[in-house]
Chain A
Amino acid sequence: MRRQLDLTLAYVAMLAKARMSYRADFLVQVSSDLVLQAVNLVFIAVVFTRVQALAGWLFDEVLFIYGFFLIPFALFNASFAVLSDVGGRYVVGGELDRVLTRPMNALLQVQLELLRPQALNGVVLGVVVMAIASARLQLTWTLLDVLAMMSATLGAWLVYGGVYVTVASLTFWTQDGGAGFFPIAYNTIQFGRYPLSIYPAAVQFLLTFVLPYAFIAFLPAAGVLRPEFSWLGWLTLPVGAVVFAVGLLVWGRGLARYEGAGS
């Protein structure tokens, strides 16, 4: 464990050096991320010029949900999101051979090679949006609320991770064909940015029990916004742990089948 931690830090240090040598790319990433988030915020603002509330949720509450959404989403974009590369490069292309010769967890190595720290700017934006919404709603934060949000951030990141590791592992069975599931896993995330109650019951069921994106933003944010839902905020961490455990299990099964690229 101690050794894995040391190696992780070494990887991150190397990565930071490599990334800083492409400073222009970094700035482009940050500014185009901001444009993208601005589009979503303008969309929400335009919708609320027409209505007072969406399925009972006010503008500032939807803004708060969206702000919280951005935080674990940025962590995800900096880490697991890049796993959509794994199929092509690592499994079909055989780069996993190189990874497997080293005495360190293969998934951790792949993950560390793919980190994109420049995506972390979303954390800052998310905190700013949440702070503005929270001030406008005059929320009073208790220590328990802060802890719930932090545990939900970690849990949401694990939900993303579990889903993405599972989909990436499908490549072991399907070769490149499995990569087709990534756009679906990614696009479905969009549902998570808005109050769950605006969707039909079938969609709500899917987002709770199949692709549990209800837990990545709406449920924990609702926990802070409405005292009667406060217990909901604590569900995300255990759900994330389960989803991630499933991901690791599927990855392990898949890796056992890996036979190299045959070159």
Chain B
Amino acid sequence: MPDVLAYWGFARTRMVDLLANRARFLAGIASYFIYVSVYAGIFRAIYDAGPEEIGGLGIREALTYTAVAWVLRSMYTNGVDREITQEVRRGDIALALLRPVDYPASKLATAAGEALTRALIFTLPAALPIILVYPVQPPASLSSAVGFLAGAVLAFGIYSLVNLLVGITAVFTEHTVGIQRAKNAMMDLLGGVLLPLSFFPAWAQDALWLLPFQAVTYTPVSMYLGTTPVPVGLGVQALWLVILALLVRVLWRRAVDHLTIQGG
């Protein structure tokens, strides 16, 4: 039991930290409203130009998709990759390794604390003006609502595990800024934040299913809309969660062997 308490400590520390600096989320709330406004403008122009339905979505569903996708993004986003890189470069990771806790798990606990705080003091207030201004539909059914909520939790897990992988590569490369930025760009485009993956040509969609990014945004949001059956969506997400968790284990074991701490 002391183990669980230790990890709760990591989550709690991050929550207290974010709550103390909550003012910075105000700009974030405005920013997310701007993001949704840009993409809602583009989607309206797309549907004005002709097609009644694209990839199974009408204009109402497409606008709902954009709103829900961005709101979801405001919850799962974290900087675990950047934080690990910093700890490796400064050598702080040596201290972290002395603690009797599992390092990747402690980072996940921190990220969970961040996601929980964000959900309450960032995601909810960011969703409010978006729902008021844009015609956001409710979930397709009760089961899709439950599926979406469970999917949001899994999305957080998948996103954070990918971030862990990127962060741990810092042990081998020292720099991860480039990988971080490439990963962020792919999360948004190939994950389905910028536009539903069903808008892509069929061959591209097939390829996108082979990547974990779709499980972060597209899959939970399409469960919300009812276009992906809940069991299928959750199954795909759970599969990626397991695969990524194994990859993190393998990479971390190699990283510990490889780790060199400079100076001291």
Binding site for B on A (CB under 8 A): 24-25, 28-29, 31-32, 35-36, 38-39, 42-43, 46-47, 49-55, 177, 180-184, 187-188, 190-191, 194-195, 198-200, 203
Contacts and interface: CB of A to CB of B under 8 A. Distances in A.
Given A28-B178, A32-B182, A54 B42 contact: yes
B27 A184 contact: yes
Given A46-B200, A198-B44, 6 more contacts: A25-B175, A38-B185, A54-B46, A183-B28, A191-B41, A198-B41
Contact of B31 (A32, A53, A183): A183
B34 A190 contact: yes
Contacts of A191: 34, 37-38, 41
Contacts of B42: 47, 54, 194, 198
> 8 nearest interchain CB pairs?
A198-B45, A32-B181, A28-B178, A51-B49, A180-B27, A39-B185, A32-B178, A183-B27
B30 interface: yes
A183 B188 CA distance: 18
Interface of B: 23-24, 26-28, 30-31, 34-35, 37-38, 41-42, 44-46, 48-51, 54, 175, 177-178, 181-182, 185-186, 188-189, 194-195, 199-201, 204
A42 B189 contact: yes
Given A24-B175, A46-B195, A35 B38 contact: no
A172 B131 CA distance: 36
A35 B189 CA distance: 11
Nearest to B176: A28
Contacts of A194: 38, 41-42
Contacts of A36: 181, 185
Contacts, number: 98
A46 B196 CA distance: 10
A52 B175 contact: no
29 contacts: A28-B178, A32-B181, A32-B182, A35-B181, A39-B186, A43-B189, A46-B195, A46-B199, A46-B201, A47-B46, A47-B195, A47-B199, A51-B45, A51-B49, A51-B51, A52-B50, A53-B49, A54-B45, A55-B45, A177-B23, A180-B24, A182-B27, A183-B28, A188-B34, A191-B34, A191-B37, A198-B41, A198-B45, A203-B37
B196 to A, nearest CB: 10
Given A47-B195, A190-B38, A32 B177 contact: yes
A43 B194 contact: yes
B18 to A, nearest CB: 15
Contacts of B48: 55
A257 to B, nearest CB: 22
A260 B47 CA distance: 55
Contacts of A43: 189, 194-195
B26 A180 contact: yes
Contacts of A25: 175, 177
Contacts of A35: 181-182, 185
Contacts of A195: 45
A50 B51 contact: yes
Contacts of A49: 199-201
Contacts of A55: 45, 48-49
Contacts of B185: 35-36, 38-39
Contacts of B46: 47, 50-51, 54
Contact of B41 (A42, A51, A200): A200
A47 B42 CA distance: 9
Contacts of B204: 46
Contacts of A46: 195, 199-201, 204
B49 A54 contact: yes
Contacts of B188: 39
Contacts of A177: 23
